[in-house]
Amino acid sequence: MEFRDVCRILSSTENIHEGGCGISAIIMYRWIKKHDRKYLEGFSEKPFAIFFDDREEFSYNSEISKNGDRIEDIPHVVLHHKEQHLFFDCRQKSHEIFRWYHPECLFFTENEILSLINSPGWKFWI
């Protein structure tokens, strides 16, 4: 299976925008870690970006995160790779996300995203 096959499967998932974006980001990241070491070099220590609906939501969750508490609302998760945002359909979009979300985001490690996904508050309706 190639990365484009993974992307095709993820992008055909019904209701992917209802909590599946974070799970898709984990799947893509793990596939890249296992199969494409060169591409992996473009990721930072915290490759998962969470975008929020507006400035107020971003500021609130940013403050919570700084205090070490769990953020409460997660509208959208993408992979952040070399100043680009990699969506579940595996297209890199740097500015397209800003049509729907506030331009500032919070960055997280794989373990932090997994912890958020496994918590009772994760929005997941697939």
Mind listing the pLDDT tens digit for each residue in 2-47?
Answer: 888 888 888 787 766 677 788 888 988 999 999 988 888 888 899 9
Q: How far apart are alpha carbons 110 and 60 in whole angstroms? A: 22
Q: How far apart are alpha carbons 70 and 93 in whole angstroms? A: 27
Which residue in 80, 83, 84, 125 sits closest to 106, CA to CA? 80
Other CB atoms closer than 10 Å to residue 35's CB: what's the count? Answer: 13
Q: How far apart are alpha carbons 19 and 75 in whole angstroms? A: 8
> Residue 76 in 3-state DSSP?
strand
Whole-number mean pLDDT of the chain? 82
| This prediction's pTM | 0.84
